[in-house]
Amino acid sequence: MHEHKLLEQAKSFFMSLQDNITQQLSKLDGGEFEQDQWIREEGGGGRSRVLKDGNVFEQAGVNFSHVFGANMPASATAHRPELEGRSFNACGVSLVIHPRNPHIPTTHANVRFFIAEKEGAEPVWWFGGGFDLTPYYPIEEDVVHWHQTAFDLCAPFGDDIYPKYKKWCDEYFYLKHREETRGVGGLFFDDLNEWGFEKSFEFTKAVGNGFIDAYQPLVEKRKDTPVTEHQRQFQLYRRGRYVEFNLVWDRGTLFGLQTGGRTESILMSMPPLARWEYQYSPEAGSLEALLYERYLQPQNYLNL
CB neighbours of 296 closer than 8 A, spacing ≥ 6?
Answer: 180, 181, 183
Q: Which fold has domain 5-295?
A: oxygen-dependent coproporphyrinogen oxidase (3.40.1500)
Q: Which of 4, 66, 79, 108 is catalytic?
A: 108
1 has pLDDT over 90:
no
Distance CA(164)–CA(161), nearest Å, equals 5
pTM: 0.94
The SS3 assignment for 119 reads: coil
Distance CA(204)–CA(125), nearest Å, equals 13
Q: What is the pLDDT of residue 2?
A: 67
231 has pLDDT over 80:
yes
The number of angstroms, rounded, from the C-alpha of 240 to the middle of its chain's C-alpha atoms is 17
Please report, in range form, the residues annotated as the binding site. Answer: 94, 98, 108, 110-112, 147, 177, 260-262
pLDDT digits (tens, 9 = 90+) for 130-160: 999 999 999 999 999 999 999 999 999 999 9
Distance CA(208)–CA(213), nearest Å, equals 10
How much is the average pLDDT of 77-106?
Answer: 92
pLDDT digits (tens, 9 = 90+) for 26-66: 999 999 999 999 999 889 999 999 999 999 999 999 999 99
Q: Where are the domains of the chain?
A: 5-295
Active site residue 108: yes
The number of angstroms, rounded, from the C-alpha of 193 to the middle of its chain's C-alpha atoms is 20
Beta bridge partners of 116: 88, 124
CA dist 292 → 78, 138, 185, 286 (Å)? 33, 10, 14, 10
Distance CA(49)–CA(61), nearest Å, equals 6
Q: Which of 253, 147, 132 is nearest to 188 (CA)?
A: 132
105 has pLDDT over 90:
yes
